[in-house]
Amino acid sequence: MQRIGDTYDELLEIATRSEVRACWDFGHAYFNTQRFGVPLYPPEALLEHIGHVHCHDVCQGDHCPLIYNVVPWRQFIQSLIKKGFDDTIILEVPPSAFLAAGGLASLIESQKALASWIKQSRRTSGLTIDD
């Protein structure tokens, strides 16, 4: 079943009309591509309306640590940073998922990979880096 906001065009329309910043859930975007055949990457116009990100990978299910390299989260973040994104990124991984992936180490590895990639993307985009 498709839900409101499952397509980028619909999410862009909602964000534009309501003037409310949108949440981009990386895993859901990946699954929507698989389920509904929608594009994996959003239109450029939507990137300016993103105010919140749920960053996670997928494996057997949703909301997995960033260790499986299924969801192109690095490219997603880089595209946001190029558009000036400097808002909230949530590493959305519940305890059951990180425990199944090897425990707390998988969550720590995910956090380090995410922080490192954000710094690298900001550097290559010519933005200052605040540690």
Please write the tens of the pLDDT for every residue from 42-83: 999 999 999 999 999 999 889 999 999 999 999 999 999 999
pLDDT at 129: 54
Asked if residue 25 belongs to a domain, the reply is yes
Domain region containing 15: 8-124
Confirm whether 3 is domain-assigned. no
Query: Into how many domains does the chain fold?
Result: 1
Question: Does residue 130 sit within a domain?
Answer: no
Distance CA 108, CA 116 (A): 12
Decide if 129 is inside a domain.
no
- Could you tell me if residue 1 is inside a domain? no
Query: What does pTM read for this prediction?
Result: 0.90
Which stretches does DSSP call E strand in the chain?
22-25, 50-55, 88-91
Domain of 97, CATH number, reads: 3.20.20.150
